[in-house]
């Protein structure tokens, strides 16, 4: 992805944020391929005037080694799913299942319906597939009703899609409840300053 | 010549009378069938446009007005009736009648209850639009108005275009003057008749000041304020020796245009830039032809046979293109209002239109006979030709009035235009004898939903949706199901409603919002799992 496109995506995202700040979004729009990455999904409101008492995220395929940040405010539950084939996990073990869904629930006090936001934090290994766009579908479960930010674009999108910024903007603006998304990019430099010192495989 | 073309251009916009846009109830408090815990302090009704209230009442089941209502207040499109008395527990009827911008009175009645379940009431179940005994008179007056207005305008056109010799021109202009006078009177009567119609008054109600106040409060007054001077100017224009005064005629016609624009009867059927001129062409051609018939009949008697034949020839030169315009513009307008030839038979509007068309074909046949057979005879001076041509023109003229009666009838009938707003007929949808609309809709992923809407009529509707997987088996563990209904043609935007899971993959939604007939958009958003949404889109005709 060239710089110009990247800039345009940023502008589009910023525009979408100001106009349609009511969707659940990821705080980063780009993540480097193949590394662990901190992720935050931001929830900005409840369901009409009903406070949020539970928040759920579906982890997309390819994202593994999910770890949630410790929080005093919510009880965190992780539901697992079997992987189609084992992948290497921490410390070289092969893992056969991964987190399918994270559920933050039973808050100390529900998140008020308006005027505040909450960030839900977790980290995960991003697949080594530069150009792919990951969609994190999420649900705000409120005291009364729920809002499902689960819509996907009508056509498959990736970094090579022509006019990607326009299409992403359109997706965020024209879809009533778009999923949060993040674009996987090729790392421009090693993620760790001591990468060159790592033992050769 | 220039004035003549200005006049013709002005006439283009005359009388575009078919489009209608009634006021529609969007919300009310209490709602139809609602059970309130306590007596309301006020009742409200919200419409899609601002309305003028004629009456707004709460009745008990014996039909007595209750609640000691105060003054009706208006807040934009919302109508509020404060109640000074609290109502004891029981069943009540809310009834209203309002006028909208197009002067068409609409009203309804529905039941609600306080503190106890609603008892069945005949009026509540009917919830139908009330019809006044004045409606036929309103229609007849409109017939006279149309005929006389077309006649007056047509006389100017006829004399200007054909330049007939003095005796014929004088007859034509005398007829035009009379028609303009009649038209002016009709404009005024329309206020009183309309007022009485809106108030559901009895036949003696025409003498009540209230009636005229209601009429004057509607756009009929503005229409008459322009139409009457317009017609008087046409009278002055025609009150000349043997040529109308084009200046007066142009201004008169312009005012007449204005009179029809303010009543909301403008050619609003989209695209208006196309429909308005088409309706105008239709009317100008009709006016020319209609107003020519009597002077031509007169010409056959008073003019020497050769000259009369020559005048008829000249008339034919204009009349042949005029017939084409009347026919094709008529077809275009009908197509816009009906949407499909099938609609000619399955609703009152279509039936009247079909009658009008049949009568017009009779006129065409007679006109062709006149032109092909009788006019040459007249020109050759064959004995008895003048008498024959006078007889056939007489018949033609009387059929013409029948056509205009049908046209006036059309304006009192709601066209099915809204029903076909942009939607193609559903091949897989079926309206069964029990009044339930059924359809199976698939999404791109291969899921499907069986939809059943009953009664599929304006008012409360119940939707039953059954979700099915790719193999047609019910999906029993779907997370949620929402529906979104809208009627863009009437400016009713998305209304989102939650479905209730009733088991076995079936979801149930009560829809209170489908209160206007039309081709409603219906989108079903089914969450097959918590995160997987399937959207099913279709349209449903609400009768």
pLDDT recorded at residue B389: 83
User: Within 10 Å of residue B154's Cβ, how many Cβ atoms?
Assistant: 26
A141 interface with B at CB cutoff 8 Å: no
Question: Does position B39 have pLDDT exceeding 80, yes or no?
Answer: yes
Length of chain B equals: 543
* Chain-chain contact of A150 with B480 (C-beta, under 8 angstroms): no
pLDDT digits (tens, 9 = 90+) for B508-533: 888 877 777 788 899 999 998 999 99
Q: Do residues B247 and B283 touch, judged by C-beta distance below 8 A?
A: no
Residue among A135, A121, A147, A139 at smallest CA distance from A49 = A147
- Which chain B residues are closer than 8 Å to A77 by Cβ? none
Is residue A143 situated within a structural domain? yes
Is residue A196 situated within a structural domain? no
Residue among B537, B504, B294 at smallest CA distance from B401 = B294
Q: Is B324 helix (H, G, I), strand (E, B) or coil?
A: helix
B270, two tokens: 């989209």
Q: Do residues B265 and B17 touch, judged by C-beta distance below 8 A?
A: yes
Please give the distance of CA B265 from its chain centroid, rounded to a whole number: 8
A150 interface with B at CB cutoff 8 Å: yes
Question: Does position A19 have pLDDT exceeding 60, yes or no?
Answer: no
CA B235, CA B218: separation in Å to the nearest integer?
A: 27
B42, two tokens: 């006020």
Report which secondary-structure segment, H or E, holds B358: helix B348-369
pLDDT digits (tens, 9 = 90+) for B288-315: 888 888 888 888 888 887 788 888 888 8
CA A37, CA B170: separation in Å to the nearest integer?
A: 96
Q: Do residues B355 and B334 touch, judged by C-beta distance below 8 A?
A: no
pLDDT recorded at residue A178: 92
pLDDT recorded at residue B271: 66
What are the residues facing B483 on neighbouring strands? B497, B524
**What residues contact residue A160 under an 8 Å CB cut-off, 6+ apart?**
A131
pLDDT digits (tens, 9 = 90+) for A142-183: 998 899 999 999 889 999 999 999 999 889 887 888 999 999
pLDDT recorded at residue A2: 61
Looking at A89-98, B24-33, B65-74, B469-478, which range is the least confident one? Answer: B24-33
Q: What average pLDDT does the segment B28-42 reach?
A: 84
Residue among B440, B445, B439, B473 at smallest CA distance from B534 = B445
A167 interface with B at CB cutoff 8 Å: no
**What residues contact residue B263 under an 8 Å CB cut-off, 6+ apart?**
B102, B103, B219, B220, B222, B223
CA B171, CA B161: separation in Å to the nearest integer?
A: 15
Q: Do residues B215 and B277 touch, judged by C-beta distance below 8 A?
A: no
Percent of chain B with pLDDT over 70: 80
Confidence of residue B23 (pLDDT cuts 50, 70, 90): low
Question: Full-prediction pTM beyond 0.80?
Answer: no
Phi, psi of A54 (to 5 degrees): -160, 145
* Chain-chain contact of A148 with B480 (C-beta, under 8 angstroms): yes
pLDDT digits (tens, 9 = 90+) for B82-94: 888 888 888 787 8
Q: Which of B530, B532, B535 to mutate to test the interface with A (most CBs of A within 10 A)?
A: B530
Tell me how close the Cα of B38 comes to any Cα of chain A, in angstroms: 25
Is residue A163 situated within a structural domain? yes
pLDDT recorded at residue B240: 80
* Chain-chain contact of A148 with B527 (C-beta, under 8 angstroms): yes
B426, two tokens: 């559903």
User: Within 10 Å of residue B424's Cβ, how many Cβ atoms?
Assistant: 10
CA B470, CA A4: separation in Å to the nearest integer?
A: 43
* Chain-chain contact of A150 with B532 (C-beta, under 8 angstroms): yes
Tell me how close the Cα of B480 comes to any Cα of chain A, in angstroms: 10
* Chain-chain contact of A139 with B480 (C-beta, under 8 angstroms): no
Q: What average pLDDT does the segment B124-137 reach?
A: 56
pLDDT recorded at residue B61: 66
Question: Does position B124 have pLDDT exceeding 60, yes or no?
Answer: no
* Chain-chain contact of A148 with B532 (C-beta, under 8 angstroms): no
Question: Going by DSSP bridges, is the β-strand pair A146-149/A133-142 parallel, antiparallel, or unpaired?
Answer: antiparallel
Is residue A153 situated within a structural domain? yes
* Chain-chain contact of A56 with B530 (C-beta, under 8 angstroms): yes
Compute CA distances B331 → B9, B275, B362, B404, whole Å: 21, 12, 16, 16
* Chain-chain contact of A146 with B527 (C-beta, under 8 angstroms): no
DSSP letter (8 states) at residue A158? -
Is residue A200 situated within a structural domain? no
pLDDT digits (tens, 9 = 90+) for A27-51: 999 999 988 999 999 999 888 788 9
Q: What is the CATH number of the domain that holds A69?
A: 2.60.40.2230
Size of interface A-B (CB pairs under 8 A): 19
B531 interface with A at CB cutoff 8 Å: yes
CA B66, CA B150: separation in Å to the nearest integer?
A: 49
Tell me which residue has tokens 């209730």. Answer: B500
B527 interface with A at CB cutoff 8 Å: yes
Domains of chain B: 2-18+133-419 (no CATH), 33-126 (2.60.40.1220), 422-542 (2.60.40.1930)
Classify residue A40 as exposed, middle or buried by CB count within 10 Å of its CB (0-12, 13-18, 19+). Answer: middle
CA A147, CA A140: separation in Å to the nearest integer?
A: 5
Of A139, A145, A151, the CB nearest to B530: A139
Question: CA A190, A193, A197, A201 torsion: positive or negative?
Answer: negative
* Chain-chain contact of A150 with B498 (C-beta, under 8 angstroms): no
Is residue A198 situated within a structural domain? no
pLDDT recorded at residue B3: 43
Domain carrying residue A45: 3-188
pLDDT digits (tens, 9 = 90+) for B174-200: 888 999 999 999 999 988 888 887 776
Tell me which residue has tokens 């778009």. Answer: A178
Tell me which residue has tokens 């709601």. Answer: B414
In A40-79, the residues whose Cβ lies within 8 Å of chain B are: 56, 58
Compute CA distances A133 → A198, B301, B441, B533, whole Å: 29, 88, 31, 19
Question: Does position A185 have pLDDT exceeding 80, yes or no?
Answer: yes
Of A56, A145, A150, the CB nearest to B533: A150
pLDDT recorded at residue B100: 66
Q: What rounded mean pLDDT belongs to chain B?
A: 77
CA B257, CA B260: separation in Å to the nearest integer?
A: 5
Of B480, B498, B531, the CB nearest to A137: B531
Q: What average pLDDT does the segment A14-28 reach?
A: 68
Confidence of residue B95 (pLDDT cuts 50, 70, 90): confident
Percent of chain B with pLDDT over 90: 8
- On the question of a cis peptide bond just before residue B455, with omega within 30 degrees of 0, the verdict is yes
Q: In what order do the strands lie in the sheet with A36-43?
A: A25-26, A36-43, A118-125, A64-68
Phi, psi of B110 (to 5 degrees): -145, 165
DSSP letter (8 states) at residue B10? H
Helix then strand count (H, E) for chain B reads 12, 18
A105, two tokens: 């629930």
Q: Number of folded domains in chain A? A: 1
pLDDT recorded at residue A143: 93
HSE, side-chain direction, 13 A CA sphere, residue B55:
18
pLDDT digits (tens, 9 = 90+) for B218-240: 777 888 888 899 899 988 888 88
Is residue A197 situated within a structural domain? no
Q: What average pLDDT does the segment A104-120 reach?
A: 93
Q: Do residues B518 and B493 touch, judged by C-beta distance below 8 A?
A: no
Distance spanning both ends of chain A, measured CA to CA: 29
Confidence of residue B413 (pLDDT cuts 50, 70, 90): low
pLDDT recorded at residue B384: 79
**β strands within B171-320, DSSP E:** none
Report which secondary-structure segment, H or E, holds B62: none
Question: Does position B11 have pLDDT exceeding 50, yes or no?
Answer: no
Q: What average pLDDT does the segment A121-129 reach?
A: 94
B311, two tokens: 């005048």
Is residue A96 situated within a structural domain? yes
CA angle B166, B167, B169 (to 5 degrees): 60
Confidence of residue B445 (pLDDT cuts 50, 70, 90): confident
């Amino acid at each position: 992805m060239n710089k110009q496109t990247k800039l345009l995506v940023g502008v589009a995202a910023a525009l979408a944020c100001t106009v349609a700040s009511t969707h659940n979004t990821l705080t980063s729009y780009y993540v480097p391929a193949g590394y662990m990455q901190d992720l935050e999904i931001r929830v900005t409101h409840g369901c009409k005037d009903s406070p949020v008492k539970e928040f759920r995220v579906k982890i997309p395929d390819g994202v593994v080694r999910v770890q949630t940040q410790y929080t005093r405010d919510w009880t965190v539950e992780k539901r697992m799913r079997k992987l189609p084939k084992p992948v290497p996990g921490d410390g070289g073990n092969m893992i056969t299942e991964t987190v399918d869904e994270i559920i933050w629930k039973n808050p100390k006090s529900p998140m008020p319906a308006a005027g505040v936001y909450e960030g839900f934090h977790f980290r995960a290994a991003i697949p080594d597939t530069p150009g792919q766009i990951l969609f994190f579908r999420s649900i705000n479960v409120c005291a009364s009703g729920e809002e499902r930010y689960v819509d996907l674009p009508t056509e498959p999108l990736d970094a090579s899609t022509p006019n990607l910024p326009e299409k992403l903007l359109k997706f965020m603006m024209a879809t009533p409840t778009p999923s949060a998304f993040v674009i996987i990019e090729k790392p421009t430099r090693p993620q760790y300053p001591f990468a060159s010192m790592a033992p050769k495989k | 010549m220039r004035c003549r073309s200005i006049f013709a251009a002005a006439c283009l916009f005359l009388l575009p009378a078919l489009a209608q846009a009634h006021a529609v109830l969007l919300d009310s408090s209490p709602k139809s069938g609602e059970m309130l815990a306590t007596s309301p302090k006020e009742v409200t009704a919200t419409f899609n446009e601002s309305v003028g209230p004629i009456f707004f009442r709460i009745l008990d089941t014996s039909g007595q007005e209750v609640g000691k209502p105060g003054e009706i207040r208006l807040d934009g499109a919302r109508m509020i009736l404060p109640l000074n008395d609290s109502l004891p527990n029981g069943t009540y009827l809310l009834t209203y009648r309002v006028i909208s911008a197009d002067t068409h009175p609409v009203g309804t009645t529905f039941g609600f209850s306080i503190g106890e379940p609603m008892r069945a009431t005949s009026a509540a179940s009917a919830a139908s639009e009330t019809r006044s005994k004045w409606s036929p008179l309103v229609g007849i007056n409109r017939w006279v108005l149309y005929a006389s207005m077309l006649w007056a305008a047509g006389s100017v056109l006829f004399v200007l275009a054909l330049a007939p010799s003095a005796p014929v021109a004088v007859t034509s202009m005398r007829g035009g003057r009379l028609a303009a006078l009649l038209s002016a009177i009709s404009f005024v009567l329309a206020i009183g008749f309309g007022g009485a119609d809106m108030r559901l008054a009895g036949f003696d109600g025409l003498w009540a000041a209230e009636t005229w106040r209601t009429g004057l409060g509607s756009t009929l007054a503005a229409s008459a304020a322009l139409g009457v001077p317009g017609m008087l100017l046409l009278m002055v224009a025609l009150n000349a020796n043997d040529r109308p005064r084009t200046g007066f005629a142009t201004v008169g016609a312009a005012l007449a245009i204005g009179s029809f624009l303010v009543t909301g009867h403008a050619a609003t059927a989209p695209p208006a830039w196309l429909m308005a001129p088409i309706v105008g062409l239709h009317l100008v051609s009709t006016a020319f032809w209609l107003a020519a018939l009597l002077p031509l009949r007169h010409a056959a008697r008073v003019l020497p046979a050769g000259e009369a034949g020559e005048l008829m020839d000249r008339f034919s030169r204009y009349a042949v293109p005029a017939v084409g315009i009347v026919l094709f513009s008529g077809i275009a307008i009908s197509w816009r209002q009906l949407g499909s030839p099938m609609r000619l038979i399955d609703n009152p509007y279509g039936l009247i239109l079909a009658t009008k068309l049949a009568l017009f074909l009779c006129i065409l046949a007679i006109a062709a006979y006149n032109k092909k057979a009788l006019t040459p005879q007249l020109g050759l001076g064959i004995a008895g030709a003048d008498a024959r041509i006078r007889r056939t023109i007489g018949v033609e003229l009387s059929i013409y009035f029948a056509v205009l009666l049908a046209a006036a009838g059309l304006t009192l009938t709601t066209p099915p235009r809204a029903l076909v707003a942009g939607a193609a007929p559903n091949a897989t949808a079926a309206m069964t004898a029990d009044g339930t609309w059924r359809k199976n809709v698939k999404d791109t992923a291969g899921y499907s939903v069986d939809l059943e809407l009953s009664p599929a009529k304006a008012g409360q509707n119940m939707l039953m949706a059954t979700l099915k997987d790719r193999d047609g088996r019910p999906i029993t563990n779907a997370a949620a199901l929402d529906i979104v209904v809208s009627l863009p043609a009437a400016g009713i935007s998305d209304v989102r409603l939650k479905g209730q899971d009733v088991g076995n993959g079936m979801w149930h939604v009560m829809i209170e919002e489908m209160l206007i007939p039309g081709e409603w958009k219906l989108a079903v958003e089914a969450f097959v799992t918590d995160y997987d949404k399937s959207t099913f889109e279709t349209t449903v005709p609400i009768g």
